[in-house]
Chains A and B, each alone.
Chain A
Amino acid sequence: MLTCPVKEYSGFDCPGCGFQRSLEQLLQGHIWESVLLFPALIPFFVTLVLLLLHLRFRFKNGAKWLVTMYVITAVILVANYTFKLLNGSI
């Protein structure tokens, strides 16, 4: 696994920390463990797949859906990081 440069030099988690562990869990089929480690992973992949499908098939409201999914991903990321900060787990 790649080491997070922020964590390596500062010792605290960055908001993207947990991504690779979460992906590993998801690839092993452990969906709930993946959500617990990094809740924004699945919405992010949904956004990516939607982006590829939209670029290929040009859905009528594809751009709006993409922005919606993007905002959901960003909100989950920020909320998760805030929770981890307040929880003292980083």
Chain B
Amino acid sequence: MENNPPYPPNSGNPYQNPQGNPYQQNPYQQGFGGQRDLSNATAILVLGIISIVTAFCYGIPGIGCGIAALIMGNKAKKEYEANPSMYTESSWNNAKAGRICGIIGLILGGLMLLVVVLYFIFVLSMFGAIAGGMAN
């Protein structure tokens, strides 16, 4: 007599939980139905929010935070849209919010950098004009 089990492996065995032991859940899984948080949703939100305070030191830190929030936000958007039922809605909302804040911070930081660059170009050209005038 063959020693095979009376059922094919991994199908139809009523005593085998396909999800594994329910008491050893993945710590990253939250909510119902095995949904988990989008990776980096919290980081996107925090970066997006702090991009506004850092937008004014020549605009550079704000631009950095804004770009980081935007890139990570776009990645999270792709992940979510590929498989919406896999991720929690709250983390998706956080990622969306962080992305919007990041875009605003990026615009403000970009404007600030533009103003500073234009100002220094203006000052340098004035110096150049004065120096040229003195040389003549």
Q: Does B70 sit at the interface, judged by CB under 8 A?
A: no
- The answer to whether B53 and A16 touch across the interface, beta carbons within 8 angstroms, is yes
| Contact (Cβ within 8 A) B97 A64 | yes
State whether A63 touches B119 (Cβ < 8 A): no
Contact B90 A58 (CB under 8 A): yes
A49-67: CB near B (< 8 Å → 1, else 0) gives: 0010011001010111011
Set of chain A residues within 8 Å of B100, measured between Cβ atoms: 67, 70
Q: How would you classify the secondary structure of chain A's contact residues: helix, strand, loop or mixed? A: helix
A70-B112 contact, Cβ under 8 Å, with A5-B58, A6-B58, A16-B56: no
B58, A66: Cβ atoms closer than 8 Å: no
Q: Are A5's CB and B97's CB within 8 A? A: no
Interface-central residue, A64, A70, A71, by most chain B CB under 10 Å: A70
Is residue B39 within 8 Å, beta carbon to beta carbon, of the partner chain? no
Among A6, A16, A63, the one with the most B-chain Cβ atoms within 10 Å of its Cβ is A63
One of A6, A55, A60, A73 near B52 (C-beta < 8 A): A73
A31: Cβ under 8 A from any B Cβ:
no
The verdict on A90 contacting chain B, using a C-beta distance below 8 Å, is: no
- Give the most central of B42, B55, B97, B112: most A CB within 10 Å: B97
What are 21 A-B contacts defined by CB distance under 8 Å?
Answer: A5-B57, A6-B58, A10-B116, A14-B56, A15-B112, A16-B53, A16-B57, A44-B53, A51-B46, A54-B94, A55-B45, A58-B90, A60-B90, A63-B90, A63-B93, A66-B97, A67-B97, A67-B101, A71-B104, A74-B52, A78-B108
Starting from the known contacts A6-B116, A64-B97, A67-B101, 13 additional A-B residue pairs (CB-CB under 8 Å) come to A4-B57, A5-B57, A10-B123, A15-B108, A44-B52, A47-B49, A51-B49, A55-B42, A55-B46, A63-B45, A66-B49, A66-B101, A67-B97
